[in-house]
Amino acid sequence: MSRRLVRRDLLVGLAIVLAGAAFGHDITAPAPRDPLATQFGGPFALLDHTGKRVTDADFRGRFMLVYFGFTRCTDTCPVDLPVIAQALDGLGPPAEKIAPLFISVDPVNDTPVVMATYVANFHPSLIGLSGSEAEIAAVAKAYKVHRRKLSQAHHGPGEYTIDHGSLTYLMGPDGRFLTLLPHRTSPERMAAVLRKYLSGP
């Protein structure tokens, strides 16, 4: 991912934090509902890495920890997915209340079989989700995730990489947005934020 796009992700996260402050609370801790809760997320229907059709409603009652990426990613995903895995392990049994979702931004290549092998490298609870181009476009739009195909000089015909968002989204048991965690958040920080929400108000 280019430095410019990483900075854009960080600016989005900063804007949310500043907006949270304007509403008089820290968005990394449980807080009353406010207009920020409608900023990200929405219904989706995708295929999980076992080939099963799932929707956002299947995860009701659990927190969703949502990350967008793709299996051929060589920069951000290999950094952020281990952080998610370590944070979940750090939580212990309460991590069962969280559904960690890895949503592909490259549906052409990321079939359920490919996703199954990939997510198994990071954590047994990690759920890989993909779908048609239209389905991925819809969920990326709902979460305001940018994704852009890039062809580079060393690529052959039809080869490409993808610039994509690197924020991690925490959604509540009701499916509503709670907070954002930026790229390169430490496992300890992520676990601490998750622990606050899991403990409730």
Task: Tell me the mean pLDDT in the region 111-133.
Answer: 97
Contact 150, 50 (CB under 8 A): no
How far lies 197's CA from each of 28, 154, 166, 179, in Å? 8, 45, 21, 10
Task: Give the distance, in angstroms, between the CA of residue 79 and the centroid of all CA atoms in the same chain.
Answer: 13
What is the token pair recorded at 174? Answer: 């009701």
Fold classification of 3-151+159-198 (topology level): Glutaredoxin (3.40.30)
Q: Which residue has the higher pLDDT, 171 or 153?
A: 171
The whole-angstrom separation of Cα 93 and Cα 90 is 9
Q: What confidence score (pLDDT) does residue 201 get?
A: 67
pLDDT tens for 24-77 read: 334 444 444 444 445 899 999 999 999 999 999 999 999 999 999 999 998 899
Contact 129, 110 (CB under 8 A): no
